[in-house]
């Protein structure tokens, strides 16, 4: 009888391999930074206006460099030769960004209505004068005081309406009327300390 022995493998003696482990790596996107390219500024500082060339002006910096600069102000200004302005220059050009000492004409213009209001007093002064020009002007005030050495008025027609008293106090008066003069009142009194002179070709009383 043949003994056929069968080798039996103990399952506990079999080498056990660990199950494969799946590794997941989460990739974080790299933050993007925006790169700003700044135009290098060559010069910035006070300049003297040498030449006026239309909307531009030739200016000279403190180091002697000359540039043709365009106006870049918040208001309209007409530079003149000799003005001291604040200018900035770069590879793309030069601009006038301020007026340090100028004698040119400036203007503030708005396309629509404009209101200037102050919680206190509002003063408007001009060393050489103040000019007001408009097709129509209205003045509303509770009290109006005017002080001047001399006043000159010229009108095509003048109408005055006074509801209370019209009082004129003067050192002397002189009235010249080219046409007719007419005065109408309920009563009239002419009082003088000296003589009264009436001169005319015809005088009608009564």
> Would 79 be classed as within a structural domain?
yes
CA 176 vs. chain centroid, Å, equals 47
pLDDT tens string 73-110: 988 899 999 999 999 998 889 999 999 999 998 888 88
| CATH number of 85's domain | 2.40.50.140
Question: How far are the Cα atoms of 24, 34, 36 from residue 30, in angstroms, in the given order?
Answer: 18, 13, 18
pLDDT at 35: 52
CA-angle at 162, arms to 192 and 131, nearest 5°: 105
> Would 53 be classed as within a structural domain?
yes
Coil vs helix vs strand at 152:
coil
> Would 81 be classed as within a structural domain?
yes
- pTM here is 0.56
> Where in the sequence is the domain holding 72, given as residue range(s)?
43-103
> Would 204 be classed as within a structural domain?
no
- Residue 18 pLDDT level (bands cut at 50, 70, 90): low
- Residue 2 pLDDT level (bands cut at 50, 70, 90): very low
> Would 96 be classed as within a structural domain?
yes
Coil vs helix vs strand at 89:
strand
Tokens for 1, please give them.
Answer: 């009888």
Question: Is the Cβ–Cβ distance between 102 and 83 less than 8 Å?
Answer: yes
> Would 175 be classed as within a structural domain?
no
Nearest-angstrom CA–CA distance, 111 and 114: 9
Taking phi first (over 0 means left), then psi (-120 to 50 degrees means alpha), and beta for anything else, what does residue 136 get? Answer: beta
pLDDT tens string 30-56: 665 545 445 566 889 999 999 998 889
Domain total of the chain: 1
> Would 2 be classed as within a structural domain?
no
């Amino acid at each position: 009888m043949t003994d056929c022995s069968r080798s039996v493998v103990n399952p506990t003696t079999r080498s056990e391999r660990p199950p494969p482990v799946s590794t997941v790596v989460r990739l974080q996107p790299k933050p993007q930074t925006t790169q700003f390219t700044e135009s290098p500024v060559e010069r910035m500082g006070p300049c003297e206006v040498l030449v006026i060339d239309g909307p531009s002006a030739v200016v000279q910096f403190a180091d002697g460099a000359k540039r043709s600069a365009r106006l870049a102000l918040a208001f309209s200004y007409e530079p003149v030769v000799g003005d001291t302005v604040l200018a900035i220059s770069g590879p793309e050009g030069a601009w006038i960004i301020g007026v340090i000492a100028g004698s040119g004409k400036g203007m503030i213009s708005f396309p629509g209505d404009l209101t200037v209001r102050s919680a206190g007093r509002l003063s408007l002064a001009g060393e050489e004068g103040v000019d007001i020009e408009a097709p129509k002007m209205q003045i509303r005030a509770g009290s109006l005081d005017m002080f001047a050495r001399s006043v000159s008025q010229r009108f095509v027609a003048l109408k005055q309406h006074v509801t209370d008293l019209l009082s004129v106090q003067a050192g002397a008066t002189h009235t010249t009327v080219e046409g007719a003069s007419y005065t109408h009142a309920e009563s009239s009194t002419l009082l003088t300390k000296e003589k009264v002179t009436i001169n005319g070709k015809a005088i009608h009383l009564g």
